[in-house]
Structure 1
Amino acid sequence: MDILFGLKKLLGMSLMSVPLILIGLLLAGFFYRKRYVKLGRILSLFSITALFILSLSPVTDALIRPLESQYPAYQGQPVDFVLVLGGGHSTANERPLSSLLSGTSLSRLTEGLMIYRANPGSKLLLSGYHGDDIESHAKAASRVAIALGVPESDIYLAEEVKDTAEEARHWVKFINGAKFALVTSAMHMPRSVYLFKKEITLQQGE
């Protein structure tokens, strides 16, 4: 894995709620050892309380809902391309093909295939690089799509893109103004739409 990309992913993961809480607990232990007992107690109490609150489904649902509800589901609009953004996968020959993709990635691909089949003549665009795996995510997703009946000639891959920003740069240029459906997780959609709109504006201004 590219070192800079790995550091970027690690930093992004560390800024999520649970890692931040764990960092808070580690800091609390550090302050205890340095005899800042009061500060250590406050930080540990805050961290444990935050972890408990975030473990409650009503709280997490309320936090996620604004992100998930910003964009509607596909409404049957005609499109030329169906773009499924990359996710997680794990190649293991002893596992069935249905276990190749993570649950999130399989959900994205399933939605993408439904839109693809609703638009005869459209093409399926799959992206995602290999990470620490022996094959790229795009290739893994294509294997599942082909097994589910999509002709290989209808599939285009971007196997070197590492994140959503790179996916936007690659596919906006490839699509070249054609109509497309963007498929990703509901919570990820606002950021994805922002990056794709930004890239479309940039490339139109060139």
Structure 2
Amino acid sequence: MFFVLSKVVWFVLSPVNLAILLAGLSGLLAFTRFARPARWIGLISLIALGLMAFSPLPRIVLRPLEDRFPQQDARKGPVTGIVVLGGAIGVARGDVVMNSSAVRMTKAVELARLHPQAKIVFTGGAANLISEATVTEADGAKLLFEGLGLDPARLILEDKSRNTRENAAFTRRLVDPKPGERWLLVTSAWHMPRSIGVFRKAGFAVEAFPVDFWSSGEPDDFIRPYSRAPRALEIADNGFKEWVGLLAYRLAGYTDELFPGP
């Protein structure tokens, strides 16, 4: 129920979607007796889209999330296993496709080569709400990892999870980690606080290995506007989603902290 509700609610409350829906509502009301409030609704939606598309707002929203866990030295060992969260890969026309978070996958391959004794665990099923998928993210991960030369015997693929909470719970049951083992968790830096929170709640002691940074880490992150609206809107949407997700997961009891840290 939580999965379905989260998908439906976020479709409406996603800042970009909400601004577009409000703009559409404004257009409809413009030809009615509510024309005056329609103009205000249209103006507010336009300002919101402008701030997300061309101002430093996306970086301001994202930066605290990305600063929460420090970067690590990839060569530091030993490593028992590397857990890679889905959200970056899929399969289309029988081949691998990746989105703007593809570095989750490429960093996993780099870590696998630096630590040849480590297991490689990928967790990600199909998060489709309307149609039933015939392939999963895990299928894409298998194609990619084996295509790049990783030994199939090292791979552990979890293909049932649909969200971060299920990533943690299903992976914990699948790998059964032992005390004293060192497991790295690889996901986007902006997604790491929520991810660490649910893995801790699931009783899986993982070590944060953040990748896929979308802010530069420089002081001008807070003043530098974007020049490409589509990229800025994507970053803004992901940033706001993570903050809402942190609150929702805490209220649902999926994490013990509102803003998990090191």
Q: TM-score, normalised by structure 2?
A: 0.67
Q: Report the CA distance between 1:171 and its aligned residue.
A: 1.5
- Correspondence for 1:21: 19
Partners of 1:77 and 1:70 in 2: how far apart? 22
1:176 correspondence with 2:177: yes
**Counterpart residue identity of residue 151, structure 2:** P
Q: Which has the higher helix share?
A: 1
Q: Report the CA distance between 1:110 and its aligned residue.
A: 0.7
1:186 correspondence with 2:151: no
Which of the pair has the greater relative contact order for Cα pairs under 8 Å at 6+ separation? Answer: 2
**Counterpart residue identity of residue 21, structure 1:** A
CA-based RMSD: 2.4
Q: Report the CA distance between 1:4 and its aligned residue.
A: 7.8
Q: Report the CA distance between 1:44 and its aligned residue.
A: 0.9
1:129 correspondence with 2:130: no
Q: Report the CA distance between 1:187 and its aligned residue.
A: 1.4
Deviations 1:10-29 (A, max 9, x none): 43233221011112213323
Match 2:40 to one of 33, 39, 42: 42
Partners of 1:146 and 1:6 in 2: how far apart? 33
Q: Pairwise mapping of residues 146-165 of structure 1 onto structure 2 (< 5 A)?
A: 146-165=146-165
Contact 2:125 2:159 in 1 (8 A): yes
Partner-residue secondary structure (3-state), 2:30: helix
Q: Report the CA distance between 1:189 and its aligned residue.
A: 1.2
Partner-residue secondary structure (3-state), 2:56: helix
Structure 2 residue ranges without an equivalent (≥5): 205-252, 254-262
Aligned residues: 195
Q: Report the CA distance between 1:109 and its aligned residue.
A: 0.9
- Correspondence for 1:108: 104
Partner-residue secondary structure (3-state), 2:69: coil
**Counterpart residue identity of residue 129, structure 1:** G
**Counterpart residue identity of residue 149, structure 2:** G
- Correspondence for 1:65: 63
Q: Report the CA distance between 1:59 and its aligned residue.
A: 2.4
Partner-residue secondary structure (3-state), 1:200: coil
Q: Report the CA distance between 1:6 and its aligned residue.
A: 5.3
**Counterpart residue identity of residue 11, structure 1:** V
Q: Report the CA distance between 1:118 and its aligned residue.
A: 2.0
Q: Report the CA distance between 1:188 and its aligned residue.
A: 1.1
**Counterpart residue identity of residue 40, structure 1:** A
More moved, 48-57 vs 167-176: 167-176
**Counterpart residue identity of residue 157, structure 2:** L
Q: Report the CA distance between 1:30 and its aligned residue.
A: 4.2
Q: TM-score, normalised by structure 1?
A: 0.83
Partners of 2:44 and 2:121 in 1: how far apart? 45
Contact 1:13 1:19 in 2 (8 A): yes
Q: Which has the higher strand share?
A: 2
Partners of 2:20 and 2:82 in 1: how far apart? 39
Partners of 2:56 and 2:165 in 1: how far apart? 32
Structure 1 residue ranges without an equivalent (≥5): none
Partners of 1:153 and 1:164 in 2: how far apart? 25
Q: Report the CA distance between 1:155 and its aligned residue.
A: 0.1
Partner-residue secondary structure (3-state), 2:139: helix
